[in-house]
Structure 1
């Protein structure tokens, strides 16, 4: 079966889900954007778990998990998206973030998972394609996850995702 793909506008760290997906950097030591927000909301437990589990970081396109610390979610599923602005333009690396996150969610027993638009921010992936990659992959990947929630940051992103979902 596949997950029901839903959409909300808001803060990914405030979602009432089993797991939130973090658009992490390869170093797995926190950063800006979604990564910084998740580390700030989750507190030092998230970073401590990253250091413990990912001593050498995480490869682009890969997924792994940590505690969610102080967030209401139980887990953070970290994915490392490709950095378009640095020449990482293999769409397969982007889609593997979504399918890999679903596979990790299945291993954990998570049934509700909140996703950001991976690589669509500071990593510069063209947003229209980042949205299509997210929706297509979440709709096509076999999983036990019941709800894959795309959390759009801002009204413009929400409306763009909504148009792809409706199409």
Structure 2
């Protein structure tokens, strides 16, 4: 583990990597990636409902650079970014080996909602969570995949059942 202070270029690379990571949904199903944002600011992570992009906006540049000078934290960030980059660059996926006919022809998945993560409130229940899990699995398999859904402008409606129905 590197113990001397990071250079300006190293800091810039880590900050760029964190921004790239936060803007990709991969972190929503990778526990170690989520822990990076929680370690960066536990208060912001909790108050901003586990939203990585919001955490990076909330944390000052000074605080971010200070946290990244901690050798253990910087090592954790490097490790997560290394795995994220490998995931993004993976060419030898299940789909590449078994579904070559789909290359350039994405699977269209229609669902009323997709439950990907709590920071994207576009699911109200079990089927939305299942659709989100299908989207995550498609990504892990390297399948070309497009999720088509609804987005309620006024939020979700509340449905209740009373004694009569």
Query: Which TM-score tier does this pair reach, normalised by the shorter chain?
Result: under 0.3
Of structures 1 and 2, the one with the larger relative CO (CA 8 A, separation 6+) is 1
Q: TM-score, normalised by structure 1?
A: 0.27
Larger radius of gyration, structure 1 or 2? 2
Instruction: Give the TM-score normalised by structure 2.
Output: 0.27
